[in-house]
A and B are shown apart, each in its own frame.
Chain A
Amino acid sequence: MAEFKRPLPHPTPETLHFWEGTQKGELRLQRCDDCRNVYFPPRPFCPKCASRKVSIFAASGRAKLYSYVISHRPAPGFTPPYAIAVVELAEGPRLMTNIVGCAQTPAALVLDMPLEAVFEKQTEDITLPLFKPAGA
């Protein structure tokens, strides 16, 4: 019945730390040791200054809703309508996610509303970072 589940990521050597982090309830970002740029998605060098001296750290999980659509199209593993959102993390980078714990409506999904990360286990290897309204 795999075709009825949502597509899951296949981690690569450069992204494995991120997916190991979500399994432990951490949203891991990277910071350049030279220019201090914080970035996402993962790669072993700074996309701003090209330094290979970068560190991995756990982000706060705090974010705000940057933009979204509410999809009415059928999708494996989803019950339409559902929101596909992009959130802006407190540390700066943005990432795509879903918003859980609230109605999937324009009234409930207000741009710039505060959010916090939650971690939803999909398989033994993959846990996805999702977001819910802060304090909900």
Chain B
Amino acid sequence: MKRKSVAVVGAAETTEMGLIPNLSQLQLHADAALNTLADAGLKPTDIDGVATAGESPTSVAHYLGITPTWVDGTSVGGCSFMIHVRHAAAAINEGLCSTVLITHGESGRSRIGSGRWGGSPASLSGQFEAPFGTMGPPTVFTIPVLRYMKTYAVSEEQLATVAVVQREWAGKNPRASYREPITVADVLNSRMIAYPFRLLMCCLVTDGGGALILTSAERARDFPRKPVYVLGTGESVETPMISQMEDFTTSKAFRVSGKKAIDEAGITHKDVDHLMIYDAFAHLPLYGLEDLGFCKPGEAARFIQERNTAPGGVLPLNTNGGGLSYMHSGMYGMYAMQESIRQLRGVAAAQVPGAKISIAHGVGGMFAASGTIVFSNQAP
């Protein structure tokens, strides 16, 4: 991919956020798309590329009245939207299309017009994991953490601190689902879900959506909003079975995707003003900080505890409140990128003064996949 060759010229979330029982999943895609088209000053007929996950790109294109010359239905979980940005950049560079719409919508809580969970009992995870009582992400995504905590002597209090700090950020965001301050004791005393994870260490389950429009950096200057440039991108996958992760203390997909994006952007960690790490559960920011290279292995818990990622810290992290406090529809990656873009446009609820470079790092499945985008508001 050519460096700095594409930019985000439209970005918006659904009008409502949280509990939206009056919209189907497909309409959540459309609501986000219409808000994003308005943000970019475009009409559906201006779009010639469509990417989405959760719904098929065919459904979204037809529903919105778009006739694309390029589609991408990559669906590897919550980081699919980061990967769509990466693929869109390649497609725009190759001339397959000029203006790409990426949509996400998910009726995660209300379950209106959304699919069912669960895989085939003949799949490898169906044969070798499901028989042992896995009951969705809270009991699966969480399994590696005891090994991580033993290896690096991380305490339950430190794990709880991740949720406490993110609630501080959520307190600054009027659209966040949960805004009341919480303490480490509140987290540790909340209902046990899957030891060592308590309720407040687990993400929300809400309804919502978001969309992005990308075009070439050259064309981006002609749009009403200040462009947010894509400096670097990465993607990878590891395994659909958590039991088969190479190492429970680090995610290979995170390391590969993160390095690819940071190297391609040609930046160093010190250049990063703002960071989003997909936090389905409280341990993910720990793995993300280490696997992206912001902390050495085993040092992320202390880094957070010492308030480096909190309001006023050197590396503001998950400034919308994250999946733990802002919203989590099921595939949260889109919201991480929306917050990066708000920060670089200078319009975030908890604005980081003068932020120029932001990284949005996503996970897909349960440490199964990853996508990473380095954004900047500085013209190439």
Chain A residues engaging chain B, CB cutoff 8 angstroms: 6-12, 15, 19, 40-41, 66-75, 77-78, 81-82, 84-86, 94-98, 106, 111, 122, 128
- With A8-B121, A10-B121, A97-B132 as given contacts, are A71 and B127 in contact (CB-CB < 8 Å)? no
- With A67-B146, A75-B133, A75-B135 as given contacts, are A9 and B197 in contact (CB-CB < 8 Å)? no
Task: Assess the B130–A7 pair: CB atoms within 8 A.
Answer: yes
B248 to chain A: which residues have CB within 8 Å? 66-67, 86
A84 CA to B133 CA, complexed, in Å: 7
Interface size bucket, B side?
A: 35 or more
B128 to chain A: which residues have CB within 8 Å? 9, 41, 95-96
CB distance from A9 to the nearest CB of B (A): 4
Which of A19, A111, A128 has the most C-beta atoms of chain B within 10 angstroms of its own C-beta?
Answer: A111
B90 CB–A CB distance under 8 Å: no
Which of B132, B142, B193 has the most C-beta atoms of chain A within 10 angstroms of its own C-beta?
Answer: B132
Nearest to B138 among chain A residues (CB) is A73
Task: Assess the A84–B139 pair: CB atoms within 8 A.
Answer: yes
Task: Assess the A94–B139 pair: CB atoms within 8 A.
Answer: no
A74 to chain B: which residues have CB within 8 Å? 135
Nearest to A67 among chain B residues (CB) is B147
B-side interface mostly: mixed
Task: Assess the A72–B192 pair: CB atoms within 8 A.
Answer: yes
A6 to chain B: which residues have CB within 8 Å? 131-133
A57 CA to B244 CA, complexed, in Å: 20
Task: Assess the B132–A98 pair: CB atoms within 8 A.
Answer: yes
A12 CA to B126 CA, complexed, in Å: 11
What mask results when residues 302 to 327 of chain B are scored 1 for a CB within 8 Å of chain A, else 0? 00000000000000000000000000
Nearest to B191 among chain A residues (CB) is A72
Q: Can you list 12 A-B contacts (CB < 8 A)?
A: A7-B121, A10-B122, A41-B127, A66-B248, A68-B146, A69-B146, A71-B135, A84-B143, A84-B194, A86-B143, A95-B128, A96-B129
Task: Assess the A111–B139 pair: CB atoms within 8 A.
Answer: no
A95 CA to B147 CA, complexed, in Å: 15
B214 CB–A CB distance under 8 Å: no
- With A7-B121, A78-B133, A111-B147 as given contacts, are A69 and B244 in contact (CB-CB < 8 Å)? no
A95 to chain B: which residues have CB within 8 Å? 128, 243
Across the interface, B147 reaches (CB within 8 A) one of A11, A41, A66, A106, namely A66
Q: Which are the 7 A-B pairs with shortest beta-carbon distances? A: A9-B127, A70-B195, A67-B147, A10-B122, A69-B194, A96-B243, A10-B121
Across the interface, B197 reaches (CB within 8 A) one of A69, A81, A86, A122, namely A69
A67 to chain B: which residues have CB within 8 Å? 143-147, 248
B378 CB–A CB distance under 8 Å: no
CB distance from A62 to the nearest CB of B (A): 18
B270 CB–A CB distance under 8 Å: no
Within 8 A of A (CB), among B237-267: 241-244, 248
A106 CA to B197 CA, complexed, in Å: 12
A70 to chain B: which residues have CB within 8 Å? 192, 194-195
A78 CA to B132 CA, complexed, in Å: 9
Across the interface, B146 reaches (CB within 8 A) one of A7, A73, A94, A111, namely A111
A71 CA to B194 CA, complexed, in Å: 4
CB distance from B135 to the nearest CB of A (A): 5
A122 CA to B126 CA, complexed, in Å: 16
- With A7-B126, A9-B121, A10-B126 as given contacts, are A84 and B146 in contact (CB-CB < 8 Å)? no
- With A9-B128, A11-B127, A95-B243 as given contacts, are A73 and B143 in contact (CB-CB < 8 Å)? no
Which of B138, B144, B194 has the most C-beta atoms of chain A within 10 angstroms of its own C-beta?
Answer: B194
Nearest to A70 among chain B residues (CB) is B195
- With A70-B195, A111-B150 as given contacts, are A8 and B120 in contact (CB-CB < 8 Å)? no
CB distance from A43 to the nearest CB of B (A): 9
- With A10-B121, A67-B144, A97-B132 as given contacts, are A72 and B195 in contact (CB-CB < 8 Å)? yes
What mask results when residues 175 to 217 of chain B are scored 1 for a CB within 8 Å of chain A, else 0? 0000000000000000111111100000000000000000000
CB distance from A134 to the nearest CB of B (A): 19
Task: Assess the A73–B193 pair: CB atoms within 8 A.
Answer: yes
B124 CB–A CB distance under 8 Å: yes
CB distance from A30 to the nearest CB of B (A): 14
A10 CA to B136 CA, complexed, in Å: 19
Nearest to B127 among chain A residues (CB) is A9
Task: Assess the B135–A94 pair: CB atoms within 8 A.
Answer: no
A40 CA to B243 CA, complexed, in Å: 10
